[in-house]
Amino acid sequence: MSVKQSENKNRAKPENILVILGGVSSEREVSLQTGQACVDALNKRGYKVRVFDWQKREATQLLQAITTPTPDVAFNALHGTCGEDGCLYGLMECCAIPTTHSATLASAIAMDKLMTKQLLEQSGIRFPESMKLEVAVGNERQESPIPVPYVIKPIAQGSSIGVVRNLEKGKPLPSSRQFPLMIERYIHGREFTVGVFKGTALGITEVIARQGEFYDYKAKYNEEMAASHVFPAKIEHKLATKICKWAELAHKNLGCRVISRCDFRYNPQEPEEKNLYMLEINTHPGMTGMSLVPEQARGVGIEFEEIIETLVLDAWQKKEHKGKRYEAAN
């Protein structure tokens, strides 16, 4: 570490922030929007912001951007592969550059839906029955390992990319092998999502997709096809308490930092012991104009800028804990 870099680290507050956005995953477009919102928030709070639009998976461009000059804090505004899965965090940790959001281990587990399920079921959180989908090419007519209705989705992607529902018998399994896939029992009913900020649930949003649709990419990011959001969700107190408790538990037990968002399905036709299911936890929830966490924060009187600044300050404080693999969860 240079003398200049070590002097900088003694400041109470960071000054220079490098926002890394775009990225090399299938969620690049979403990250460009998330990143811009974060840049605006940091500018509003008076930070000196440099933006790096990461476009290529090769060493020179990335290493140059993160080291010339080395920022006080790197703000990771990426979604998906290489950004949200702990890879970038790990690289930054090796370079001793404080970086926002959850650390490598929590991010890597959260990115893998089957791994998340395995870990969080031990905390008493229920997930739908699911498994890795192995289909030999040319064998798409084989019997599905889970009866209809089911969804097939990538094990480690986001933004609903590649999620396919099969509600009726007779459809072949997908022949596309772009990503490792899982198959999961489809949960009929309602959909909820909960942001957790500093360990506490912000509240519950019900996401209502257009008639006959589900919460797919268009419903998330296309204003004309958008799902409606009801915040706070109109549900009974007991159910709301359980949903929030599961989201907070997932955040804590995975070791997430500052912010996360959990998605749920709820089937009111089922008895209480099998009507609520967590689908996943996101360590880099979207921060676009249509995203759920900023909306929930606004709804409970927390400014968007406060979340973004808390991420930066948390990263800056984490430098005190270098060498400790597991940090206090909050």
Contact footprint for Mg ion (CB under 5 A) = 263
Question: For ligand ADP, which stretch binds (CB under 6 A), given 182-190, 194-202, 245-253, 296-304?
Answer: 182-190
The DSSP code sequence of 31-72 is HHHHHHHHHHHHHHTT-EEEEEEE--SSHHHHHHHHHTTPPS
Fill in the per-residue mask, 138 to 157: x = in contact with ligand ADP (CB under 6 A), - = not in contact: -------------x-x---x
Q: Which does 187 bind (CB under 5 to 8 A by kind): ligand ADP, Mg ion, none?
A: ligand ADP
In the complex, what is the shortest distance from the CB of residue 263 to Mg ion, in angstroms, rounded to a whole number? 4
The amino acid that residue 258 corresponds to is: V
CB of 97 to Mg ion, least distance (A): 29
The yes or no reply on residue 159 touching ligand ADP (CB under 6 A) is: yes
Residue 191 engages ligand ADP in binding (rule: CB under 6 A) = yes
Q: For ligand ADP, give the closer residue by CB, 184 or 309.
A: 184
Cβ pair 77, 30 in contact under 8 A: no
Per rule CB under 6 A, is residue 84 in the interface with ligand ADP? no
Task: Please give the single-letter amino acid code of residue 130.
Answer: S
Interacting residue with ligand ADP among 144, 160, 200, 267 (CB under 6 A): 160
In whole angstroms, how close is the CB of 150 to ligand ADP at the nearest point? 8
What residue spans of the chain are helical by DSSP H? 3-8, 28-44, 59-67, 87-94, 104-111, 113-120, 217-221, 237-254, 292-299, 304-318
Q: What are phi and psi of 273, to 5 degrees?
A: -75, -5
DSSP character for 99? Answer: B
- Vertex 251, ends 246 and 253: CA angle to 5°? 90
Count of residues interacting with ligand ADP (CB under 6 A)? 19
Residue 179 binding ligand ADP, by CB under 6 A: no
List Cβ neighbours of 157 (8 Å cut-off, separation of 6 or more). Answer: 25, 26, 27, 80, 81, 179
Question: Which residues from 207-246 bind ligand ADP, rule CB under 6 A?
Answer: 214-215
Based on CB atoms, which residue is closest to Mg ion, 263 or 309?
263
In the complex, minimum distance from the CB of residue 139 to ligand ADP, in angstroms, rounded to a whole number: 23
- The continuous run of DSSP H or E covering 282 comes out as strand 276-282
Smallest separation, CB 260 to Mg ion (Å): 12
Q: List residues binding ligand ADP (CB under 6 A).
A: 128, 151, 153, 157-160, 163, 184-187, 191, 214-215, 263, 265, 279-280
